[in-house]
């Protein structure tokens, strides 16, 4: 008996040794920077002579009294909700259309739809920046030709349209990810369940609502969570397109952090803003996991 216990303990130790390299990588890549950020948020740091003066919560008081930081929180919420809602809805709809038997040329359509996702973010942003140009952009030209607008619109230079323009690009970029994941989930739905529903008299809509949708719900929940986390921490599109302008109307938290550290060289304040962004993202992820994903797992 004692010999068996020793063998079990050795086996468990061996299992831990297998995952040890991965744990070390995670610790170095994620945990160390996180701890460094949390610690530096409590100090006033002079990056020129590396002098650290304990400031407590003064950095947090400073950012929350900054109207631009408060605006960046609002912009982040608008950017995240607007992007994720339309990314998922458009991707989900296209995936279900591609899953229909009547659709021909699916392979070519899939390749074409995946192009935005595989393109580098900077390249995509620069192309759209040109398309949005008020003088020679193709978007203004097309809208003029079909009579939607009578004069050119400064999509990226107007406070009323800049955020919407950035959200459109983000939706275009990430919808293919939703298509890919959703279509893969639809292909795994049991044919027996669909056939049984049809035999019981269910129409196509009822089969989708009562058979397909419950089967792919866990995948959809995961997609929404991933999109939310990625969008809240996004940086490339907004930076390339507007750099947070005009008048900070597209400045999201990641851009505020970048500007605070790399433009103002204020490590403590930037770390405090990073901590707020991390806490905000973690809270959203935990709540979503508890009330949405956790509820589905209990069913």
Q: In this structure, is residue 132 part of a structural domain?
A: yes
Give per-residue pLDDT as tens, 12-25.
666 777 777 888 88
pTM of the model: 0.88
Say yes or no: 243 and 292 in one domain.
Answer: yes
280, burial (CB in 10 Å: exposed 0-12, middle 13-18, buried 19+): middle
Identify whether 49 is part of a domain.
Answer: no
Q: How much is the pLDDT for 297?
A: 59
Residue 133 lies in a domain: yes
**CA 197, CA 258: separation in Å to the nearest integer?**
54
User: Are residue 86 and residue 28 in the same domain, yes or no?
Assistant: no
Q: Per the structure, how many domains does the chain have?
A: 2
Domain contains 180:
yes
Residues of the chain falling short of pLDDT 70: 1-14, 293-299
Query: Is omega for the bond preceding 246 within 30 degrees of 0, making it cis?
Result: yes
CA 205 from centroid of its chain's CA atoms = 30
CATH number for the domain that contains residue 96: 1.10.3720.10
Query: What percent of the chain stands above pLDDT 70?
Result: 93
| Within a domain: 45 | no
In terms of domains, do 205 and 154 share one?
A: yes
Residue 35 sits in which domain range? 2-40
Question: Are residues 109 and 212 part of one domain?
Answer: yes
pLDDT tens digits, one per residue of 39-85 = 999 999 877 778 899 998 999 999 999 999 999 999 999 999 999 99
User: Which residue from 233, 77, 83, 235 is spatially nearest to 171, judged by alpha carbons?
Assistant: 83
In this prediction, residue 181 carries a pLDDT of: 94
* Residue 262 domain flag: yes
**Same domain membership, residue 165 and residue 264:** yes
Rounded-to-integer distance, Cα 297 and Cα 290, Å? 10
> Shortest CA distance to 249 belongs to which of 118, 68, 117, 102?
68
């Amino acid at each position: 008996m004692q010999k068996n216990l020793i063998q079990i303990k050795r086996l468990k130790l061996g299992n831990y040794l297998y995952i040890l390299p991965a744990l070390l990588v995670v610790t170095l890549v994620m945990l160390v920077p996180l701890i460094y950020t949390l610690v530096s948020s409590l100090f006033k740091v002079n990056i020129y002579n590396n002098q650290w003066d304990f400031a407590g919560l003064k950095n947090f008081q400073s950012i929350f009294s900054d109207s631009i930081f408060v605006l960046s929180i609002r912009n982040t919420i608008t950017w995240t909700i607007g992007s994720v809602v339309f990314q998922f809805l458009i991707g989900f709809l296209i995936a279900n259309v591609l899953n229909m038997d009547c659709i021909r040329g699916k392979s070519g359509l899939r390749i074409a739809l995946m192009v935005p996702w595989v393109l580098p973010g900077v390249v995509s942003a620069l192309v759209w920046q040109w398309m949005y140009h008020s003088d020679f952009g193709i978007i203004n030209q097309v809208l003029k030709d079909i009579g939607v607008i009578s004069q050119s619109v400064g999509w990226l230079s107007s406070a009323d349209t800049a955020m919407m323009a950035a959200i459109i690009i983000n939706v275009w970029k990430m919808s293919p990810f939703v298509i890919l994941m959703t279509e893969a989930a639809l292909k795994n739905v049991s044919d027996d369940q669909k056939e049984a529903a049809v035999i019981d008299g269910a129409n196509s809509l009822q089969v989708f609502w009562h058979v397909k949708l419950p089967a792919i719900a866990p995948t959809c929940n995961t997609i929404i969570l991933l999109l939310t986390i990625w969008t809240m921490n996004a940086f490339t599109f907004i930076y390339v397109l507007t750099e947070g302008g005009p008048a900070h109307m597209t400045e999201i938290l990641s851009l505020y952090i970048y500007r605070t550290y790399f433009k103002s060289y204020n490590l403590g304040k930037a770390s405090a803003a990073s901590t707020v962004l991390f806490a905000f993202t973690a809270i959203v992820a935990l709540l979503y996991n508890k009330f949405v994903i956790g509820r589905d797992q209990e069913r």
